[in-house]
Structure 1
Amino acid sequence: MEPQAHYYNLDLEWTETRKGKISSPQLNDEIEVATPPEFPGGIEGIWSPEHLFTASVVSCFMTSFTAVAEYSKLDFKSLKCPAVGKMERIDKKFIMSEVVIKPELVIKNTKDEEKAMKLLHKAEEICLITRSIKTEVKMEAIVKITETV
């Protein structure tokens, strides 16, 4: 039987001004984080909580898609997925109100086009991050075919 809970440990260490670094005893790399430049004291060129929020949605979509594609035996050549997180002030508070993901899936066979689109939507539906947040997640999927059979 699978465990009912999994834990993901992070450590944040403030380094200076509005910057810090995030690490995990489970991972090798650190991520430098900072207040985004849109805010006073924000710093350009460093991952912000808003970037990481958007990244969690799009990376969860990718891992969900690869799982359902493997299970459904969909042969695909590539997947790229630009994403945009929208932060706005609502009722005098900033929130991440929307994340738009735009997966572009390349498959080999025309016969798999409908299946591919269904699996893209299934991945968005089962993504645990999307299910865990109140932010609206929109998907604008494109399936491209490289060869026909």
Structure 2
Amino acid sequence: MAHGEHRYNVAVLWTGNEGTGTSGYREYGRDHIIRSGSKPEIAGSADAAFRGDAARWNPEDLFLASVSACHQLWYLHLCADAGVHVLAYLDEAQGTMLDSPEQGRFTEVILRPRVVIRKGDDRDLAAKLHHTAHEKCYVANSVNFPVRCEPTIEFAQT
């Protein structure tokens, strides 16, 4: 693994000018496009609660997905190193955000990964590696609120 400083670049292009720019809070769209190099574009908007398009990804969705995906990638890495064969992984994560006039912020994220491992592998070790993944997760280490992990480990049927 490469150590040191890593830089990431994205471009966020606002596409919500409906003719009069930001002439009023209700006069512009929240739609935007997120780009990074040659990767597929992401159609973004605000959460529908904030006058956005519910069919598009919003920053809160993307943030929660980042926390979940970072944990997953570390977990898979650690399992591979430890000889635990993960056959399936699904996290149905939940984030709680406080919206207040003073300061809106996330107050908690709960990861709920459901992991299927090879029959006969060490289930206790598979569960313990979630703790290590959490300690190593770059995104979780960058937030100022609790990230809880409530994993379920199952053996494959065959």
| Pairwise same-fold verdict (TM > 0.5) | yes
Aligned to 1:13: 13
Match of 1:34 among 28, 37, 45: 45
1:47-104 deviation digits (Å, cap 9, x = unpaired):
0000011011000011111111111121121111110111113683210111110011
* 1:98 counterpart = 2:108: yes
Aligned to 2:26: none
TM-score under structure 1 length normalisation = 0.90
Say if 2:84 and 2:121, in contact at 8 Å, map to a contact too. Answer: no
* 1:123 counterpart = 2:140: no
Max radius of gyration: which structure? 2
* 1:141 counterpart = 2:123: no
Matched-pair identity in %:
29
1:45 aligns to what SS in structure 2? coil
Counting matched residue pairs gives: 146
* 1:132 counterpart = 2:142: yes
CA positional deviation for 1:146: 2.2
- The equivalences for 1:63-82 within 5 A come to 63-82=73-92
CA positional deviation for 1:120: 1.7
Residues of 1 paired with 2:104 and 2:123: CA distance?
39
Measured on the aligned residues, the alpha-carbon RMSD in Å equals 1.9
Task: Read off the aligned partner of 1:113 and give its amino acid letter.
Answer: R
CA positional deviation for 1:135: 2.3
TM-score under structure 2 length normalisation = 0.85
Task: Read off the aligned partner of 2:33 and give its amino acid letter.
Answer: K
Distance 1:91 1:125, change over 3 A: farther
CA positional deviation for 1:115: 0.9
Aligned to 1:89: 99
Unaligned runs of 5+ in 2: 17-28
Unaligned runs of 5+ in 1: none
Residues of 1 paired with 2:104 and 2:151: CA distance?
28
